[in-house]
């Protein structure tokens, strides 16, 4: 079960990182747009660089996020498979217990009765 929790946490982290990167890109694009309206060339270039950096950060977050999501899915699938295997073993153990009880009952049914105690008379 810990694997499933960790996988969910990794997925949440990846989605958060992606949302932050998208927000940063949007902010940089808005700042660049405002500067284009009446900015000096160096201010405009700085804003464009921030947009470019934000786009690169977003792309990296998407790439990393996809990898983390795939890892989380794989870990979740492994945890679910483990849970199925545990359930199958539990059922096998239950069948073995029932078989043992039945064999003990069969054995008891086929035992000869104990000898009758003698009363001491000939």
Residue 51 lies in a domain: yes
53, two tokens: 């950096």
DSSP state of 110: H
Domain hosting residue 18, numbered range: 2-87
The closest of 1, 18, 2 to 69, measured between CA atoms, is 18
Residue 103 lies in a domain: no
Residue 122 lies in a domain: no
Residue 114 lies in a domain: no
Residue 104 lies in a domain: no
Angle at alpha carbon of residue 12, lines to 66 and 19, rounded to 5°: 70
Residue 18 lies in a domain: yes
Q: What is the pLDDT of residues 103-121, one digit of tens each?
A: 888 888 887 777 777 665 5
Check whether 89 has a pLDDT greater than 80.
yes
Across the range 34-63, mean pLDDT stands at 79
Residue 28 lies in a domain: yes
For residue 98, the model assigns a pLDDT of 92
* Percent with pLDDT over 90 in the chain: 7
Number of domains in the chain: 1
The closest of 33, 22, 29, 32 to 57, measured between CA atoms, is 22
Check whether 8 has a pLDDT greater than 80.
no
């Amino acid at each position: 079960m810990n694997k499933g929790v960790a996988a969910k946490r990794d997925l949440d982290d990846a989605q958060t990182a992606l949302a932050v990167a998208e927000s940063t890109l949007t902010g940089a694009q808005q700042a660049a747009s405002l500067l284009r309206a009446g900015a000096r060339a160096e201010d405009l270039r700085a804003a464009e660089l921030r947009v470019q950096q934000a786009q690169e950060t977003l792309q990296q977050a998407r790439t990393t996020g996809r990898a983390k999501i795939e890892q989380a899915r794989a870990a979740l699938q492994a945890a679910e498979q483990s849970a199925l295997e545990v359930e199958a073993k539990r059922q096998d153990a239950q069948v073995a217990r029932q078989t043992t009880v039945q064999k003990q009952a069969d054995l008891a049914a086929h035992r000869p009765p104990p000898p009758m105690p003698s009363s001491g008379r000939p």
